[in-house]
Amino acid sequence: QSVLTQPPSASGTPGQRVTISCSGSSSNIGTNYVYWYQQLPGTPPKLLIYMNNQRPSGVPDRFSGSKSGTSASLAISGLRSEDEAHYYCASWDDSLKGPLFGGGTKLTVL
C-alpha cells in the first residue's frame, strides 16, 4: 500500500525531546531512503533530513532522523518555540514510481 502514515499532531515543552514517526511499507520506506521536511506557518517546505539521517548545511544537530524496516522517525532535541511547524516525511515509492509524502504532523511547543 502506497501510504506514509504520520501522527496528525505532536507536542512538547521547551527543552524537551520529541519524536515523530512515519510508517510505510516495503514499496517505499522498506527499500528507499527517507526524507523529512519542515514547513513553518505561511512558508514553503524546507528540507530537514535527507537519506534517512543526513542534515543539509545549516540544519541544527538538534534534528536527527532514523529508519528501521518500514518505519522512520524524526527526533528533535532541545525543543524551541521556533520548531513549531508541520513536519512531513517522504520516500520514493516503487509501486507509484514517484515521490510519496506522509500526511504531515503538526508540532506544538507548549
Partner 1 sequence: EVQLLESGGGLVQPGGSLRVSCAASGFTFGSYAMSWVRQAPGKGLEWVSGISGSGSSTYYADSVKGRFTISRDNSKNTLYLQMNSLRAEDTAVYYCAKWSLVSPLFDYWGQGTLVTVSS
Residue choice 79, 88, 107, 109 for contact with partner 1 (CB under 8 A)? 88
Residue 54 DSSP code: B
Break the chain down into helix, strand, coil percent, rounded to 5.
Answer: 5, 50, 50
Closest separation in Å from C-beta 52 to partner 1? 12
Residue 27: how many CB atoms within 10 A of its CB? Answer: 18
**Which cell goes with 67?**
529508519
37 scored as a contact of partner 1 (CB under 8 A): yes
Residue choice 33, 72, 85, 109 for contact with partner 1 (CB under 8 A)? 33
> Residue numbers of the site for partner 1 (CB under 8 A)?
33, 35, 37, 43-47, 50, 56, 88, 90-92, 96-104
